[in-house]
């Protein structure tokens, strides 16, 4: 911690820096070139030394209000202006505005005779004059080694060069000095001997027919600097150095969820879909529907009014739109509405870095919510696997930083295990959806499963993935005794299941009828018995009522008789008589 503070203070206070304005270079050098000192830029012919120097001057003039002088020993002012015009730098107007001065210094040895002692005072005069006339703060000497070819007396030249760099330092000019790469040293004529503050080496290499340019800060006295070789490229807005290691893992993590566009897949992803700003990898063998799945995601996002960008490294935009129409997705309307942009490039047309820069720029300009790279493995052909890997790493970091959800498809070879991606980017992906072929019963069907989904409770099921005219549909795969069934095998099994279910339900139905019948029979019997019972009860009640009536009649008769006899005869006798009478009647 203490050391870090010390370093920071050192770089801020002890060594003033001069920002170049060149994208990426200031990051690598932690702020720019050493202010008021010369920096040596060396490299082989055609590796971009002059462009780097010119961009240093032009950006200084335009962005930092630091006018610059270019002493060109090789090209005329017109040639230089024309060369950098392709980078969008309007040199003539900067010259007219007194922000830039170009002096072409030309020496033709055959037309010069050396007769006696001389020095290069006129060079100082010219440089001093140019600097004073526009108040320059920056100087480019490109490439001063041409003097070695133009002058015989190397001893004089060397002492004059030493004087020149001292002169630049005394005037407080931040200078860039270019030199051709030499056999034994950094430069052919040992310029590094004079310029020891900062040395940048440019290099270009052709690997499998693809050119990659690289930049390395070999030396930076008094300052920390990135020591790697950084790929850089020259595109239509100047030089772009791509720092690999300067991005730190501090991107925010969103809780927002985005639908995958396929409801069943959302269901598999905890019911809500992907996280916003996450990186999604869709891998699968050829023809498993990776693009279709991507299209669903894009379609859903556009329908929500979010902007999407689709980088295709295999198909043309028209072809993609046409093909997706066959599964009922019309991406053309989103293009028309300006919500969707297609960017198509053959991976091999330009180097990997060029692709990366293009992607960066498009993303910067269009500010999409979603970026699709289809297929990302196509980029392998633009570089080596290691380069592709580091490029994707950088790209994903950039996308995450901007909270752009990235969907990348990768093509896995048929012979590889399904879980192998050609480029080892699986660890970079937050969500990995795997599409695979399931071969059985003489047909090929598609299966989908979520291999991983960081932070999402995802399904562990394999589903069957079907492309219909209404888009992607997921079906439950049949897991039976015969194992996993898909396609027509699944359909057959489903039919079999259905008929079995029908038979079972019919059987149940007939059982129901039997029971119903029995119930009805028994109910009828119950009703009959109940009727019997009721009749019997009725009769019994009638008998009892009759008996009571008879009894009361007897008592009445007896009391009547007693009254008529006026004598107390025993009621018992009478009772017996009446009972006898009644029994006779029955």
Shortest distance (Å) from residue 22 CB to another protein? 29
Q: Yes or no: say if 73 and 141 are a contact pair by the CB < 8 Å rule.
A: yes
Q: Answer yes or no whether residue 155 interacts with another protein by CB under 8 A.
A: no
Q: Which is nearer to another protein, 107 or 508 (CB)?
A: 107
Q: Answer yes or no whether residue 106 interacts with another protein by CB under 8 A.
A: yes
Question: Facing residues of 373 across strands?
Answer: 311, 408
Contacts of the segment 121-129: beta carbons below 8 A, 24+ positions apart: 123/71, 123/160, 123/164, 124/163, 124/164, 124/167, 126/71, 127/69, 127/71, 127/103, 127/164, 127/167, 128/167, 128/171
Task: Decide: helix, strand or coil at residue 568.
Answer: coil
Shortest distance (Å) from residue 240 CB to another protein? 34
Q: Answer yes or no whether residue 120 interacts with another protein by CB under 8 A.
A: yes
Annotate each residue in 172-211 with x if it binds another protein (CB under 8 A) or - if it does not, as one string: ----------------------------------------
Q: Candidates 80, 84, 105, 136: give the one binding another protein (CB under 8 A).
A: 105
End-to-end CA distance of the chain: give it in Å, rounded.
128
CA distance 328 to 334: 14
Binding region for another protein (CB under 8 A) out of 106-114, 256-264, 346-354, 404-412: 106-114
Q: Answer yes or no whether residue 121 interacts with another protein by CB under 8 A.
A: yes
Q: Answer yes or no whether residue 122 interacts with another protein by CB under 8 A.
A: yes
Q: Which is nearer to another protein, 122 or 491 (CB)?
A: 122
Q: Which among 428, 175, 400, 182 has a CA at the least distance from the CA of 275?
A: 400
Tokens of 347: 């991976």
Shortest distance (Å) from residue 148 CB to another protein? 13
Q: Which is nearer to another protein, 109 or 496 (CB)?
A: 109
DSSP-derived secondary structure for 273-290? -EETT-EEEEEESTTSSH
Sign of torsion over alpha carbons 376, 378, 382, 387: positive
Cα 315 → chain centroid: 19
Q: Which among 182, 162, 178, 159 has a CA at the least distance from the CA of 170?
A: 162
Q: Which is nearer to another protein, 177 or 382 (CB)?
A: 177
Q: Which is nearer to another protein, 151 or 344 (CB)?
A: 151
Q: Which is nearer to another protein, 110 or 209 (CB)?
A: 110
Q: Answer yes or no whether residue 116 interacts with another protein by CB under 8 A.
A: yes
Q: Yes or no: say if 404 and 371 are a contact pair by the CB < 8 Å rule.
A: yes
Q: Answer yes or no whether residue 171 interacts with another protein by CB under 8 A.
A: no
CA distance 52 to 233: 10
Q: Answer yes or no whether residue 95 interacts with another protein by CB under 8 A.
A: no
Q: Answer yes or no whether residue 126 interacts with another protein by CB under 8 A.
A: yes
User: Residue 252: which region, alpha, beta or left (left: phi > 0; alpha: psi -120 to 50)?
Assistant: beta
Task: Decide: helix, strand or coil at residue 339.
Answer: coil
Q: Answer yes or no whether residue 74 interacts with another protein by CB under 8 A.
A: no
Q: Which is nearer to another protein, 150 or 332 (CB)?
A: 150
Q: Answer yes or no whether residue 442 interacts with another protein by CB under 8 A.
A: no
Distances (CA, A) of 88 to 239, 344, 357: 11, 23, 16
Q: Which is nearer to another protein, 111 or 255 (CB)?
A: 111
Shortest distance (Å) from residue 73 CB to another protein? 9
Count the residues of the shown chain that bind another protein, applying the rule CB under 8 A: 24
Q: Yes or no: say if 357 and 234 are a contact pair by the CB < 8 Å rule.
A: no
CA distance 302 to 333: 10
Q: Answer yes or no whether residue 149 interacts with another protein by CB under 8 A.
A: no
φ and ψ at residue 195, rounded to 5 degrees? -115, 105
Q: Answer yes or no whether residue 113 interacts with another protein by CB under 8 A.
A: yes
Shortest distance (Å) from residue 139 CB to another protein? 16
Q: Which is nearer to another protein, 16 or 128 (CB)?
A: 128
Shortest distance (Å) from residue 119 CB to another protein? 6
Tokens of 55: 């961009």
Shortest distance (Å) from residue 12 CB to another protein? 38
Task: Decide: helix, strand or coil at residue 241.
Answer: strand
Question: Facing residues of 42 across strands?
Answer: 179, 201
Binding region for another protein (CB under 8 A) out of 119-127, 348-356, 447-455, 569-577: 119-127
Task: Decide: helix, strand or coil at residue 7.
Answer: helix
Binding region for another protein (CB under 8 A) out of 111-119, 172-180, 465-473, 556-564: 111-119
Binding region for another protein (CB under 8 A) out of 107-115, 177-185, 335-343, 422-430: 107-115
Q: Answer yes or no whether residue 128 interacts with another protein by CB under 8 A.
A: yes
Q: Which is nearer to another protein, 107 or 385 (CB)?
A: 107
Binding region for another protein (CB under 8 A) out of 105-113, 199-207, 234-242, 542-550: 105-113
Taking each helix axis as running N to C, give the angle between helix 154-170 and helix 121-134, from 0 to 180 degrees, rounded to the nearest 10.
20
Q: Which is nearer to another protein, 121 or 416 (CB)?
A: 121
Q: Yes or no: say if 28 and 246 are a contact pair by the CB < 8 Å rule.
A: yes
Q: Which is nearer to another protein, 120 or 317 (CB)?
A: 120
Q: Answer yes or no whether residue 129 interacts with another protein by CB under 8 A.
A: yes
Q: Answer yes or no whether residue 96 interacts with another protein by CB under 8 A.
A: no
Distances (CA, A) of 415 to 282, 284, 420, 448: 18, 12, 10, 18
Could you tell me where the beta strands, DSSP code E, fall in 250-358?
A: 257-258, 274-275, 279-284, 308-312, 340-344
Binding region for another protein (CB under 8 A) out of 32-40, 109-117, 168-176, 480-488: 109-117
Binding region for another protein (CB under 8 A) out of 147-155, 219-227, 319-327, 542-550: 147-155
Residues at the site binding another protein, with contacts judged by CB under 8 A: 103, 105-107, 111-123, 125-126, 128-129, 147, 150-151
């Amino acid at each position: 911690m203490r050391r870090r503070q010390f370093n920071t203070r050192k770089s801020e206070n002890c060594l003033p820096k001069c920002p170049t304005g060149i994208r990426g270079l200031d990051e690598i050098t932690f702020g720019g070139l050493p202010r008021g000192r010369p920096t040596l830029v060396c490299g082989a012919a055609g590796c971009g030394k002059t462009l780097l120097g010119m961009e240093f001057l032009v950006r200084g003039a335009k962005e930092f209000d630091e006018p610059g002088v270019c002493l060109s020993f090789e090209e005329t002012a017109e040639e230089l202006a024309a060369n950098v015009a392709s980078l969008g730098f309007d040199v003539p107007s900067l010259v007219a505005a007194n922000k830039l001065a170009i002096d072409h210094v030309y020496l033709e040895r055959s037309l010069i005779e050396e007769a006696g002692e001389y020095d290069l005072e006129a060079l100082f005069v010219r440089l001093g004059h140019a600097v004073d006339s526009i108040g320059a703060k920056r100087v480019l000497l490109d490439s001063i080694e041409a003097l070695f070819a133009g002058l015989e007396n190397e001893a004089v030249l060397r002492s004059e060069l030493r004087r020149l760099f001292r002169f630049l330092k005394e005037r407080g000019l931040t200078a860039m000095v270019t030199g051709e790469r030499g056999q034994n040293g950094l430069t052919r004529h040992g310029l590094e001997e004079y310029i020891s503050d900062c040395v940048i080496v440019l290099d270009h290499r052709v690997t499998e027919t693809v050119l990659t340019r690289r930049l390395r800060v070999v030396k930076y006295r008094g300052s920390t600097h990135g020591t790697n070789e950084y790929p850089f490229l020259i595109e239509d807005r100047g030089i772009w150095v791509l720092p690999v290691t300067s991005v730190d893992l501090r991107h925010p993590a969103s809780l927002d969820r985005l639908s995958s566009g396929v409801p069943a897949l959302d269901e598999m992803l905890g019911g809500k879909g992907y996280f916003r700003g996450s990186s999604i990898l869709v891998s699968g063998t050829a023809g498993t529907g990776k693009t279709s799945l991507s299209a669903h995601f894009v379609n859903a996002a556009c329908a929500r009014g979010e902007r999407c960008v689709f980088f295709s490294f295999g198909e043309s935009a028209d072809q993609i739109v046409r093909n997706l129409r066959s599964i009922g997705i019309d991406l053309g309307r989103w293009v028309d509405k300006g919500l969707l942009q297609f960017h198509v490039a053959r991976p091999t047309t330009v180097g990997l870095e060029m692709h990366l820069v293009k992607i960066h720029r498009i993303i910067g300009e269009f500010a999409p919510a979603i970026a699709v790279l289809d297929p990302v493995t196509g980029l392998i052909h633009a570089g080596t696997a290691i380069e592709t890997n580091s490029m994707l790493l950088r790209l994903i970091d950039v996308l995450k930083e901007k909270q752009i959800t990235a969907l990348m498809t990768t093509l896995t070879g048929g012979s590889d295990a399904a879980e192998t991606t050609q480029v080892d980017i699986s660890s970079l992906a937050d969500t990995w959806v795997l599409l695979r072929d399931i071969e059985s019963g003489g047909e090929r069907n598609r299966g989908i499963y979520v291999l991983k989904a960081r932070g999402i409770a995802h399904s562990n099921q394999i589903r069957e993935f079907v492309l219909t005219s209404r888009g992607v549909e997921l079906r439950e795969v049949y897991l039976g005794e015969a194992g996993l069934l898909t396609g027509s095998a699944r359909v057959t099994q489903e039919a079999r299941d259905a008929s079995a279910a029908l038979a079972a339900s019919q059987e149940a139905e007939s059982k129901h009828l039997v029971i119903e019948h029995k119930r009805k029979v028994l109910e009828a019997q119950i009703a009959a018995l109940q009727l019997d019972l009721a009749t019997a009860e009725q009769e019994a009640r009638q008998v009892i009522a009759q008996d009571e009536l008879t009894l009361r009649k007897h008592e009445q008769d007896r009391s009547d008789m007693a009254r008529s006899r006026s004598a107390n005869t025993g009621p018992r006798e009478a009772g017996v008589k009446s009972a006898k009478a009644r029994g006779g009647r029955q």
